[in-house]
Structure 1
């Protein structure tokens, strides 16, 4: 038994796990991909309290981050996290397929599972602590309307989506700008967790077939603690060639 194994065995008795650094897949591997594809702007949609941006910084990404978080409590923490970082911008919007105001359901796990969509019993059964506890009125914007304000010519954009089943709506609202993104990371579900939410095969078909991206990694996500079944994962995809200025059909028409 190695020293690491002995220490890990003792630590696990106290509910602590120890792994080699870096882990098998995590921030450092993602940043390797961002560097390979010369990403210098990450659009962090569904930023919550800023955990994703913090992970990027700790893993060596030094480009711009624009984070979107519509819920006031999470955004207050996000603003504190991003404070002092001149390359990290916070915007108070949800993204969707039309600009409007809407009601967002606030989840009990500090808002992490909050969504515009109704949560299904399958989700509540696997994570009762994530059940909705209230609602909040939020502002929704289309990404293609915001694009000229948040990007500059020549930037290579990576779009990260953590929007709890609302991925197709966000990509419809990106319009042709979705094809200008050099990479995409999107959470997706193996089983229905939100009413009308995008499932794994649909998300993969959309990203590969409609957006022309290539799958680089599948990152394990939310697992049902009752039986160990994985319910969600993240897909990480990149574009192998420079995006065309225009590429029909538009996402708005293709995503139905």
Structure 2
């Protein structure tokens, strides 16, 4: 076997037997569009343990960040991580949806795939760490009900939504907020991964109807077991 064949075999073994999850947004692209649109407030819905906040600081964003996260363990880690950043606020533990109330969040072995929706068979096939290791009751609020607690008139707002199948409900509960948003980032599933999830086409139609234009599309999750792309991140701005 040639050296090149050996290298290729190891590459296949390393990548094809795993789900590839969430590479960073191309930093020069995201940094440029955030700067061009003069964003000064990022609403991070589904913050998990603060990956988006960290990435924003890495690419040079110096404005305010407000993070929302419902999972108790992730919220605690997120709060600790943001504590040293005066412009990074973590809201009290809450899930963002289309109504105000309470719900159960299913905590997966990998906390970033935890969801208010049960994972379906394809998700379990694609990502073994979907296995549920606990459940927690969480408050639920709409973004519209919380917006004025964190935003000021004149803010240039970038809204990031990564809620593992709950994206449509977040958008429905943000009908007034979305009128004030300049940039929007949404994780889109190319096939349903959670029971009741709305996939990419309907969400794209909703976002298009709000006059957002696509700026960046980025691969996030590919499943070698299913031999297909599962999700992408889509970034939109109003021109």
TM range, smaller chain: 0.7 to 0.9
Q: Normalised by the size of structure 2, how large is the TM-score?
A: 0.88
Which secondary structure does the structure 1 equivalent of 2:225 belong to?
coil
* Cα shift readout 1:214-247 (whole Å, capped 9, x = no counterpart): 001111011112254111111110001xxxxxxx
Deviation, structure 1 residue 175: 2.1
Is contact 2:125-2:226 (8 Å) kept?
no
Q: Distance in 1 between matches of 2:125 and 2:159?
A: 30
- What corresponds to 1:38 in structure 2? 38
Quickly say closer, same or farther: Cα 1:193–1:24, change in 2 above 3 A: closer
Mapping of 1:243-254 within 5 angstroms? Answer: none
Q: Which segment drifts farther, 64-73 or 226-235?
A: 226-235
Query: Unaligned 5+ residue runs, structure 2?
Result: 16-22
Change (3 A) 1:24 1:123: closer
- Paired residues in the alignment total 224
Structure 1 residue 15 displacement after superposition:
6.2
Q: Give me the TM-score of the superposition, normalised by structure 1.
A: 0.82
After TM superposition, give the deviation of residue 131 of structure 1 in Å.
2.2
Question: CA separation in 2, counterparts of 1:225 and 1:108?
Answer: 20
Map 1:113-152; keep pairs closer than 5 Å: 113-152=113-152
Q: Which has the higher strand share?
A: 2
Gaps spanning 5+ residues in structure 1: where? 1-5, 17-22, 241-256
Partner SS state of residue 32, structure 2: helix
Deviations 1:127-183 (A, max 9, x none): 111222221001111111111111011101110001011111111111222121111
The answer to whether the 8 A contact 1:28-1:60 is kept is: no
Mark the CA change 1:138 to 1:227 in structure 2 (over 3 Å): closer, same or farther.
closer
Q: Which has the higher contact order (CA 8 A, sep 6+)?
A: 2
